[in-house]
Structure 1
Amino acid sequence: MLAKMLTLRPLRLSLLLITCWMSEAFALELALPQPGDDVVGTVQVIEASYEDTFADIGETYHLGYSEMVAANPGVDAWLPGAGSAITLPTQYILPAGAREGIVMNLPEYRLYYYPKDKPVVYTYPIGIGREGWGSPVSETRIAVKTPNPGWTPPQSILREHAEAGDPLPAYVPPGPDNPLGPYKLTLSLPGYLIHGSNKNFGIGTRVSHGCFRMLNHNVLELADLVAVGTKVRIIDEPYKLGMHAGRLYLEAHAMISDVEEVSIVDKHAAVVELISQSELVGDAFIIDWDRVRQVIAAEDGIPTVISHITESVSHEPNPVLTF
């Protein structure tokens, strides 16, 4: 794992937000790696100020709530404390598959955008569908781009709010109170949008009715970058494998399930299957299965080396993972 120790205090949220939906460019823009390499970015460590929260830090560094919590176990998300070391999980294994258009990985709460004319990737945190309103796994495209959208709640949402004693108006006009924020990107998948929000806390969590929420300055920037017709691939990949500097990396996120908590046995089985079927794993590699167990248990979203190229670690060709 690469780590970059920073002593800079996080930028304050007030310096980033411009009134009336205006924003400057604050993208997490990362250079694409060379062919055969899959890891971008660098893990950072910053020193928290007294008034910092994970929401503030995440807004500054393009990180969602869940990934901040996962990367900082035991740290109070609302009052980390002055001088506390905060890990920023700003290193990523790029999702498997074509590096084109938009890719959204649900367990990662993250969107990747690959522009056609520049060898970089832009990546942003997203909020996804909550329990009972799960976001779909699909291939679609950007169908319509709409600045300053109004919102007409569908009957299902009107009914849900009415039953909860929190009735909604039939129409919410554009503005700071609009749940769609300053911009919406309508997908060709009926009923689904990528949009801003009037509640930043939900970014990086399961909070929506299936749509994909972004920080307002992020959605404004993405809207400037993408064109109508851009391909969108929505995936559900809690575990990602990738090569970097000749070694194999594993990145683990918590699985998404509406039924019950996923067992540790099922988690390990999923990773063993991923490794055994991957074209990246060859005879030159010896998998460190103890390290694999640690990565799965941590689910911290940080790419970690799991391979060796010497015989110093015992080889388990048919691993039996015990707990």
Structure 2
Amino acid sequence: MLPTDGSNIVGQLQVVTADARNTLLDIGRHYELGYEEITLANPGVSVWLPGEGTAIVVPGKFILPPPPWTGIIVNIPQRRLFYFPRRTGKQPATVVTFPIGIARPGWPTPLGTTRITGKHKDPAWFVPKSIQAEQHSQGELDFPEYFPPGPNNPMGMLALETGFAKIFIHGTNRPWGVGMRVSHGCLHLYPEHAADFFAQIAVGTPVRFINQAVLAGARDGQLYLSVFEPVDGYPESQVSLLAQAMDALAIHDAPVDWKRVEQAIDAKRVVPMPVSVGAPSLDESLARIQPAQYDFEPYGIEANDAMPPDMPRRPVTDAPAAP
């Protein structure tokens, strides 16, 4: 649910104890986190072999993007999508959030407001000439001009078309890239999230793409700051992170510990960091959390395609192509 007390923070931090079977990426995907979120929250922990008994921070606490909270908001540096469903009746306002893969350097996603203009199940992908040329320049001389529908399609099994030309929110056949800079302007979802999200979204849903590298939040009388690596290709990325932090915190009427603000900026603390004067530090807060044992099966190599885990993995060959 959305906060009703003036807060703009949702979710909670957790700590789990790794086992010998799972990678850090397995744990992140299970808790609906992307690559950068789970790795930056656990500096010094091996991505592939976290180690039996290692305490893993699960950064499931998020500062919401700036309002208005309607439709879909994608914050590119945060590498996260937020969906604010329309309220019906007396139901409380809610928010759904997913990690996303974002554009690689040189292919920036447009900023601004648009809408969902189409929904495509089992899309085909006709590769644009510009992407073909890029792949050829990188030595992929046999890169296909066309990908048929199916689990090996880079667009995944489900795609939402936006009003920005050739910009889709879609699944992916390389789910371990979610949270990285992997696309040519589109936004990539884990296949299971694409399936869930696709079912909820109607054509006409408003979409807003923003570039907010610093987010300030408030909860229970405390101020928090999240800082993300700026994404190049946007004018806002030239503004210093300290200046962005000052602007973000200016709307909150509470004393700020500016030394902590500088620490958050220097460390690119994606986990919301307490910056109120006298507040417990992030490390102190994490130390109070009792770790839970992570005891889930790894996703395995068979989950590394466009199908949601545990679904039939047969290709679809007769579906219409997405434009």
- TM above 0.5, yes or no, is yes
8 Å CA contact 2:62–2:272 kept in 1: the answer is yes
Tell whether the 8 Å contact from 1:67 to 1:300 is kept in structure 2 after alignment: no
Partner of 2:290: none
SS of structure 1 residue aligned to 2:62: strand
Preserved CA contact (<8 Å) 2:116 2:202: yes
Q: Give me the whole-angstrom Cα distance separating, in 2, the residues matched to 1:172 and 1:67.
A: 30
Query: What's 1:5 paired with?
Result: none
Which sits farther off after the overlay, 120-129 or 168-177?
A: 168-177
Count of aligned pairs: 272
Identify the structure with bigger relative contact order (alpha carbons < 8 Å, sequence gap 6+): 2
Corresponding residue for 1:301? 270
Whole-Å Cα distance in 1 between the matches of residues 130 and 139 of structure 2? 14
1:54 & 1:78 partners in 2: Cα distance? 6
The answer as to whether partners of 1:288 and 1:306 remain within 8 angstroms in 2 is yes
Change (3 A) 1:309 1:88: closer
Task: In structure 2, give the amino acid aligned to 1:83.
Answer: G
Q: 1:288: how far off?
A: 1.0
Question: What is residue 240 of structure 1 aligned with on the other side?
Answer: 215
Per the alignment, residue 11 of structure 2 pairs with: 41
Give the Cα separation in 1 of the matches to 2:84 and 2:244. Answer: 28
Q: What whole-Å deviation, never above 9, does each CA across 1:204-252 have from its counterpart, x for those lacking one?
A: 0111111000000101100011110001111111111122112222111
Tell me the amino acid that sits aligned with residue 54 of structure 2. Answer: S
> How do 1:16-95 and structure 2 match up within 5 A?
31-95=1-65
Q: Does residue 121 of the first structure (1) align with residue 95 of the second (2)?
A: yes
SS at match of 1:108: coil
One-letter amino acid of the structure 1 residue matched with residue 61 of structure 2: Q
Amino acid aligned to 1:86: I
2:159 alignment partner, SS class: strand
Tell me the equivalent position of 1:11: none
Structure 1 stretch displaced more, 290-299 or 91-100: 290-299
Deviation track 1:275-316 (CA, whole Å, cap 9, x = no partner) reads: 23x2x2x2xx21111121122122221112222489xxxxxx
* Matches of 2:143 and 2:151, distance apart in 1: 16
Counterpart of 2:75 (choices 105, 111, 124) is 105
Partner of 1:17: none
Asked whether the equivalents of residues 213 and 241 of structure 2 are also in contact (C-alpha less than 8 Å), the reply is no
Inter-partner Cα distance in structure 2 for 1:38 and 1:211: 27
For 2:217, the aligned partner's letter is G
Structure 1, residues 58-95: CA drift from partner, whole Å, max 9, x if none?
A: 22111000111111111111111111111111001111
| Letter paired with 2:124 | G
Report the alpha carbon displacement of residue 258 of structure 1 after superposing the two structures with TM: 5.4
1:307 partner amino acid: S
Unaligned runs of 5+ residues in structure 2 are 280-323
Matched, 1:148 2:97: no
In structure 2, C-alpha distance between the alignment counterparts of 1:164 and 1:143, rounded to whole Å: 33
The structure 1 residue matched to 2:255, chosen from 286, 302, 305, is: 286
State the Cα distance separating 1:134 from its structure 2 match: 1.7
Match of 1:218 in 2: 193
* Aligned residue number for residue 275 of structure 1: 249
TM-score (normalizing by structure 1): 0.80
**1 CA distance for matches of 2:269 and 2:29?**
19
Partners of 1:217 and 1:152 lie apart in 2 by 24
Aligned equivalents of 2:232 and 2:26: distance in 1?
28
TM-score (norm 2): 0.80
What percent of counterpart residues are identical?
A: 39
Q: 155-164 vs 229-238, which deviates more? A: 155-164
Please give the secondary structure, in 1, of the residue aligned with 2:146.
coil
